[in-house]
Amino acid sequence: MSAKTIRKIIQIDEEKCNGCGDCISSCAEGALALVNGKAKLVKDQYCDGLAACLKECPQGALHIIEREAEEFNEEAVKGYLEQKKKAERTSPCGCPGSAVKEFAARPNLTAVAGRQDSKLTHWPVQLTLVPPGAKFLNGADVMLIAHCVPFAYPNLHADFLKDHAVLIACPKLDDAEAHLVKLTDIIKKSKFKSLTVVRMEVPCCGGLTFFAKKALAASGIDLPFKEIVIGINGEVK
């Protein structure tokens, strides 16, 4: 273990942090990570205290303080970053999938062989990965969409995603209890305009509506709520 000393080091105000992830990409040492939708200091010895991340935080949640901490260890950082790179290369997607991104609508592609425009304007979309308080949720009409819907309903982007923020989940194969807790937290910390569930007609998919309603009730926030059911032949029921 590195020796401890009184030195400058990052401190994160969790009440202000909305989990946008901007600070993480600005830390060359990898000292910060998203944990349960909040920025966290991974280890004291990875933080050099030079505050490169401060200017990237739109919420003012990062501060440099002086406290007793392990000394900055450049060799430890090097080993840690190598481990991260290796993990990314061997992960299913090979990318830091929880990093929050917002982007403009795609160029018009409809003239190319009937191709539709993408209406997705943010990342991530998996409910498990979306941090509570993510900027793209504030003031948005939010759609909670079952995983199978895009395969059954070919006009999803034009009919449903347009002008909506999207979350996706599966009530049968995912951890429904964890989704309930996460969605409740997201509703509490984000200022939705409305919530719409888009699910398949199969009985197990009704669980998506069930835990969405439970999350709304648990949050204590009254929001306009709607359910859209898609048939397995691709029609709106």
CATH of the domain at 44: 3.30.70.20
Q: Identify the domain containing residue 160 by its residue range.
A: 101-230
How much is the pLDDT for 94?
45
Same structural domain, 192 and 81: no
Residues 146-156 as b or e (16 or more Cβ within 10 Å = b): bbbbbebbeeb
Does pLDDT of 96 surpass 80?
no
How much is the pLDDT for 26?
81
Does pLDDT of 102 surpass 90?
no
pLDDT, tens only, 156-174: 999 999 889 999 999 888 8
Does pLDDT of 216 surpass 90?
yes
Axis crossing angle, helix 176-189 with helix 206-219, rounded to the nearest 10: 40
Distance CA 207, CA 205 (A): 5
Domain annotation covers residue 237: no
| Residue showing tokens 């440099």 | 64
Q: Are 8 and 66 in contact (CB under 8 A)?
A: yes
Domain annotation covers residue 170: yes
Domain annotation covers residue 96: no
Distance CA 167, CA 145 (A): 6
Confidence of residue 104 (pLDDT cuts 50, 70, 90): low
Give the pLDDT mean for 230-235.
93
How much is the pLDDT for 1?
56
Confidence of residue 24 (pLDDT cuts 50, 70, 90): confident
Same structural domain, 23 and 44: yes
CATH of the domain at 123: 3.40.50
pLDDT, tens only, 29-47: 989 988 877 889 999 999 9
How much is the pLDDT for 93?
47
pTM: 0.60
Same structural domain, 76 and 111: no
Average pLDDT, the chain: 86
pLDDT, tens only, 2-23: 678 999 999 999 888 887 777 8
How much is the pLDDT for 91?
45
Same structural domain, 152 and 211: yes
Does pLDDT of 90 surpass 50?
no
Does pLDDT of 99 surpass 90?
no
Please give the residue that has the higher pLDDT: either 67 or 27: 67
Q: Are 175 and 121 in contact (CB under 8 A)?
A: no
